[in-house]
Amino acid sequence: MLPDIETILYCTDLSKNASYAFKYAAYLAKKTGAKVHILHVVEKLSNDARITLQSYVMSSKSRDEFLNHRIDHAKELLQKRQDYFWDVLAPTEKAVREQIASIEVVESYPAETILKRANELNCGLIVMGAHEKGLMHTFLGSVAKSVLRRSRIPTVIVPLPEKDETKKK
């Protein structure tokens, strides 16, 4: 018997090309009728980063505002990326938006949180975009590798397109 995919967890790094991977999550949702849960994980600050923050930002109120702003900024950026995705999607394809079950931004450890949420949501598939090249290469690559190594749920890593998908033609 073929597996039924009823729930998809789409994990985004909020890069400009992340919508390219979301196209695949939306396509798979449309074809299977699955619900889609969207997740972005803001990595927790390391102890060194927290100590540096305490050294340069004396006011605990200012530190708290900075930490809260990280989450708020990620939520705003995710909303902008989603708005753009739905705006440029063909009108005949927009019905898949009704299959979005949740949009979540959390501060935690990315790979662990992705795996935990996928299990909690009883997902049949995890969809992630491949990372962008550059300074974040190692971090984002390690998240995808960790998820692939440890997941018992089928996981799709969508490679970046040859050219920047965000540029208008």
The angle at the Cα of 44, spanning 115 to 61, to the nearest 5 degrees, equals 145
Q: Which residues have C-beta within 8 Å of that of residue 137, sequence separation ≥ 6?
A: 131
pTM: 0.85
Can you list the domains of the chain with their CATH numbers? 7-158 (3.40.50.620)
Q: Residues in the chain with pLDDT < 70?
A: 57-58, 132-140, 163-169
Rounded to whole angstroms, the maximal C-alpha distance in the chain is 61
pLDDT of residue 47: 81
In the sheet that 7-11 helps form, which strands lie side by side, from edge to edge?
100-108, 35-43, 7-11, 125-129, 155-158
pLDDT of residue 83: 92
Question: CA dist 9 to 58, 70, 100, 155, 163, Å?
Answer: 39, 22, 10, 9, 26
Contact (Cβ atoms closer than 8 angstroms) between residue 124 and residue 154: yes
pLDDT of residue 64: 76
